[in-house]
Chain A
């Protein structure tokens, strides 16, 4: 059931697809996961990311999902470039080629550029999730490692091994992002599953609730309220609290709704300060009420004089 050795192409080696004959020159390894490794490659002067899988059925399953979400118009159009097999030591290995996303892992990006970038990154991610959900798919394994951020907060989802059709079981997940781990719902793929993981992702990116994510937290203590309490006590989370609350408790009926709410949050967040903003609102409304009462009493007095 397991492969005893795996292909390890070194920099400079060339992989040639046996069906379509396209060649890719390896520049280096980008990352490695449980079921394969991703390499940076070049073909005709252009750079791509190429994933080699250990199990051809797993690769094909991912390719099928990617084909479904990238077909036609949309933000992912043209993402999947090629799929083929290459032969290494007389064994065929499947691979697929994707657009190369140059960027930092999301937590590193935020650490370097500052937490206020979360508002931009979050919006981009919610837009991508909205697109996936509209196509009938759930991302599944949303976590900081699977989000790459390029310049100016341009965030991209990478590693599509968790893509699951809505209504089916989630194919791949990571415990601390898993809705079911937190006793906050099922492990069935629905938009709320991704939105919950997105909520946890925000906490991770803002370094909130570290104590909740340590192994050994008792199962009976795992609940979304614990995460929310952690968010409430972390100053960095304050302006995101209304969104986080709904993300972690299934408070959105769709990712579109979460997207709109997040977007609306950005403007209230940055266009007026939190406390004086509400004080101003209160003063304005009170003033309006007082002037209305005054106006009515003037009208009353005037009418009484007339009669």
Chain B
């Protein structure tokens, strides 16, 4: 099971639409969840609409929360997405076995249901899980990064407790040198020093959410480099840059 959890506080303003990128991720079997962090200032109607749309396109959940609730939200999303993924798989199997268009658990008599849910619980606990946290590190996120570090740490603790193989990566966007995304913490099942995450925030940074999602998708596919990732060659990126010049995205500088 593969998940991206995007943590942001505003609109993307560079590159391919993040909604398109999220749909692409889902087609690669990666669920995209989005958390909008809304402590200082407003996230705006457009920002919240984009957050909902990214999650919808990525088959995941979206939530708007204050920094204090970030850890719990990330935790809950991960768990719910795991459940959802497993239940979809089991549901599809049931349909195939029973030869019906749709099978709800409540269509099954209690004793059969008990056995199926036992299998579901087992799979939720033991299936391999990969979670990539993709963190908006633009200037406005700076006051919230302590909460993000804490959420990373907290999620890692929950993943460590799972029986199944679990690993976590942390990516930020934009990178320090202007790249669209950068790996802060490579795939790991154990966390190194959280304090070192997001050390260098680029004050003039743009918010290339779409390209960053695409880079994360290719990181899942096995780009193990831990240096900066650039989005050259990512579908739609050159067209998107032209859009910036035309002012379609550039209105929403965070």
Contacts and interface: CB of A to CB of B under 8 A. Distances in A.
Contacts of B68: 215-216
B61 A19 contact: no
A23 interface: no
Contacts of A189: 161
B117 A57 contact: yes
Given A61-B117, A61-B121, A169 B83 contact: no
Task: Say whether chain A's binding surface is mostly helix, strand, loop, or mixed.
Answer: mixed
Interface in B55-114: 61, 68, 71-72, 80, 83-84, 87, 104-107, 109-110, 113-114
B105 A60 contact: yes
A186 B157 contact: yes
Interface in A183-225: 186-189, 215-216, 219
Contacts of B163: 167-169
Interface residues of B, number: 30
Nearest to A168: B125
Contacts of B153: 219
Contacts of A85: 106
Contacts of B107: 92
B114 A63 contact: yes
B157 A180 contact: yes
A57 B120 contact: yes
A141 B80 CA distance: 18
A219 B114 contact: no
A233 interface: no
B125 A56 contact: no
Q: Which of A19, A61, A169 has the most CB of B within 10 A?
A: A169
A186 B161 contact: yes
Contacts of A175: 71-72
A229 to B, nearest CB: 22
Contact of A187 (B83, B87, B106, B157): B157
Contacts of A56: 104-106, 113
Nearest to B72: A175
Contact of A67 (B71, B109, B113, B114): B114
B242 interface: no
A92 B72 CA distance: 30
23 contacts: A1-B61, A1-B80, A56-B105, A56-B106, A57-B105, A60-B114, A60-B117, A61-B120, A64-B114, A64-B118, A85-B106, A168-B161, A169-B158, A169-B161, A170-B161, A175-B72, A180-B161, A181-B154, A187-B158, A188-B161, A189-B161, A215-B68, A216-B68
Interface of A: 1, 19, 56-57, 60-61, 63-64, 67, 83-85, 92-94, 167-170, 175, 180-181, 186-189, 215-216, 219
